[in-house]
Structure 1
Amino acid sequence: MVQENAGLGAAWFHTGRARPDAACRLYVFHHAGGSAATYARWAQMLPDDVEVAAVQLPGRQNRRSTPAFTDLDTLVEAVYEALEGDLDGRRFAFFGHSMGALIAYRLTLALQKDGAPAPALLAVSGWEGSAHRPSPVPVAQLSDEEFLARVAEFGGLPPEVTGNRELLDLVLPALRADFTVVNGYTDDRARVDCPVVAYGGASDPLLGAGAMGAWADRADAFQGLNELPGGHFYLYEHAMAVAADLARRLRRSAAGPRRG
C-alpha cells in the first residue's frame, strides 16, 4: 500500500516551465538525498518540444511531512500510480542519476511487465546493477558519523550542509531512507525492451571507467555510453552536455510510434 494518494501529480512531479504543446515529457529522477531542485535548470537547457517533470520523492522540501520510502518495490509502486495519473497521451522518457537511475529502471520494468506504454528512452546515469555493493551493516544501525562516512564514498554532502547541524538534521532522515532503499536492492539483471542510453563520470570511484557500458547487457536497444570528465556527481558540471545529448536522442525517436 502506498503512503499517500499517488494521483496527486502536483506533489510528485514538478514542472518548472509547463509546455503542454511539447511532443515529449521527460521525467527526471534525483539521486539519494536529492530533490526535484536538482533539475531546476533543465527546462531552460532543453528545447521547447521537451517538457521536464522533476520527480519529488516524499521526505524532502515541500514533501518533508510525508515519510520517505525505505523499500524500493513500494517506492516504485507509488511512482507508478502517480505516473498513471500524469500521462496525457504524449511520448515520455525517463532520466535518472544514481538512485534515480535505479528507480527509473525498475519503473520501466514494472511498465513492461504490465504491458503498459513504455518510455521512448530510458537514460541512466551513475548507477549500474552489477557494480552495486550493498553495505553489510543496515543503514539504521549506523551512527551519524558512520553513515556520513558511507555517504562520503559517493561524493559526500556540500560543506555548508555538513558544517551546519541544523541543516544536517533536516537532510539526514531522507538521506538515510534513500540509502536504505538502495542498500536493500538485489540485482536480477532484468532486461528492458525500450531504448537505453547510459551516462557516467570517467573517474566515478563507485563504478570505474567504462562500467556504465554494462547496460548493454540489460537492453535490447542499447544506444551506447556517453562518458564525461568527473566523479560520481559529474552531472553538476556537465548537465548542459547531457541535456543536449538527450534532446538529440529524443528528436531522433520522435518518428517512432506515439506512446501513452
Structure 2
Amino acid sequence: MSAAGRTRRARWFTTAGADPHADHQVFLFPHAGGTAPAYQTWAATLPSTMDVRTLQLPGRQERSGEKPFTDVDPLVDALLEVFEAELDGRPYLLFGHSFGALLAYRLSVAAAWNGLPAPALLGVSAWAPALEPAAELARVATMSDDELLEKVGQLGLMPEGATLDPATLASIMPALRADFLAAGSLREDGEPAPCPVAAYCGTTDPIVAPGDMAAWADHCTDFLGATQFPGGHFYLFEHTAALQHSLDRRLRRLSARI
C-alpha cells in the first residue's frame, strides 16, 4: 500500500476545510453504522465561528478495509489518541447522535482522565446512560440482515418498504453490527462528563423517551437541560438548523460566563 493509501486509511476525522481562525473546534459523531458524509452539510450551515470535523470510524467507505471495533473501550482508547492530535488549543464542542452520543460522552471522560482540556460543551442526542441493557443491543447485532434492517427501519433511518441491493447491504452490515456490539459492551460506571451537557431528542423516538434524557443531570458537572423536537429517533435531519442554532447559542452563553 502506498504512503497516500496508509494516510487515507488512518484518517479518523474528515473536514470540508478547516478554518484556523474559527473560535471553536466542533467534532461530530454519527449514529451506529453512520458515516462522515451524513454530516458534511453541517460544515456549510454551522456558524463560521465553528471549525467542523466529523468522525469516520473504521469499517466504512474509504476505511472499509479496516476491521470495525466491537468493544467500546478499545475504540475510545484508539479514538483518544487521534483526537488529541486534532486539538489545537481552541475551545471545542463534541456532538453525537445515538451511538455517536455514547462515543462523545466516553471520549470526554477519557480526555479528562488523561489530562486533556475538557470540552466547552458536550451535545448529546437520542442517547442517555443506561437506556438499553447490553443484552438487547447484542441481540440486535446478531440478527439476520433482514431482521436488523427491519429494526433500523423502525427507527426511521430507511423509508418504509425500501430495499438495498446486495452490494450495498454487504458494505454497510459489518459496521452496523459492530457499532451495536460496541454500544452493548459499555460498562456503566456513573462517571460524569467533565463539562456542561446539552441534551436533545425527538418527541416520538421509539427507544428514547424525552424523560430519559434527564438522566444526564447525574452524569455531568453542569446539565443545561433537554430540548425536544418533533419527530422520531432521527429527528435531527429534519431540524438541523434549529439544533445547530441551539448549540451555537449555548456555546455563546457558556463563553460569556468566562
Q: TM-score, normalised by structure 1?
A: 0.89
Is 1:200 matched up with 2:201? Answer: yes
- Structure 2, unmatched stretches of 5+, are 1-5
- Whole-angstrom CA distance in 1 between matches of 2:161 and 2:20: 37
What is the match of residue 234 of structure 1?
235
CA 91–256 in structure 1, closer or farther in 2 if over 3 Å, else same = farther
| Letter matched to residue 246 of structure 1 | L
| Letter matched to residue 189 of structure 2 | D
What is the match of residue 145 of structure 2?
144
Pairwise mapping of residues 124-135 of structure 1 onto structure 2 (< 5 A)?
Answer: 124-135=124-135
**Retained in 1: the 8 A contact 2:193–2:219?**
yes
- Whole-angstrom CA distance in 1 between matches of 2:241 and 2:204: 19
% same residue: 45
C-alpha RMSD over aligned residues: 2.3
Q: Deviations over 1:200-223 (max 9, x none)?
A: 001111012322122111112011
Q: After the TM superposition, which of the residue ranges 65-74 and 138-147 deviates more from structure 2?
A: 138-147
CA 78–8 in structure 1, closer or farther in 2 if over 3 Å, else same = farther
- Whole-angstrom CA distance in 2 between matches of 1:160 and 1:185: 32
- Whole-angstrom CA distance in 2 between matches of 1:23 and 1:83: 18
What is the match of residue 62 of structure 2?
62
Q: After the TM superposition, which of the residue ranges 175-184 and 224-233 deviates more from structure 2?
A: 175-184
**Retained in 2: the 8 A contact 1:134–1:183?**
yes
Is 1:105 matched up with 2:114? Answer: no
- Whole-angstrom CA distance in 2 between matches of 1:214 and 1:193: 15
**Retained in 2: the 8 A contact 1:148–1:156?**
no
Pairwise mapping of residues 1-260 of structure 1 onto structure 2 (< 5 A)?
Answer: 11-136=11-136, 138=139, 141-158=142-159, 162-255=163-256
2:170 counterpart SS class = helix
**Retained in 2: the 8 A contact 1:45–1:244?**
no
Deviation at 1:156, TM superposition (A): 4.6
Query: Number of aligned pairs?
Result: 252
Deviation at 1:45, TM superposition (A): 1.6
- Whole-angstrom CA distance in 2 between matches of 1:22 and 1:151: 36
**Retained in 2: the 8 A contact 1:109–1:192?**
yes
1:162 counterpart SS class = coil
- Whole-angstrom CA distance in 1 between matches of 2:199 and 2:225: 6
Q: After the TM superposition, which of the residue ranges 169-178 and 209-218 deviates more from structure 2?
A: 209-218
What is the match of residue 3 of structure 1?
none
- Whole-angstrom CA distance in 2 between matches of 1:7 and 1:192: 32
Q: Deviations over 1:173-212 (max 9, x none)?
A: 1111111111222322221231110000011110123221
- Whole-angstrom CA distance in 2 between matches of 1:111 and 1:158: 38
- Whole-angstrom CA distance in 1 between matches of 2:202 and 2:241: 14
CA 10–53 in structure 1, closer or farther in 2 if over 3 Å, else same = farther
Q: Deviations over 1:29-59 (max 9, x none)?
A: 0000101112111112211111111111111
| Letter matched to residue 40 of structure 1 | Q
Q: TM-score, normalised by structure 2?
A: 0.89
Q: Deviations over 1:49-81 (max 9, x none)?
A: 111111111111111111111110111111100
Deviation at 1:105, TM superposition (A): 0.5
- Structure 1, unmatched stretches of 5+, are 1-5
Deviation at 1:158, TM superposition (A): 4.9
1:40 counterpart SS class = helix
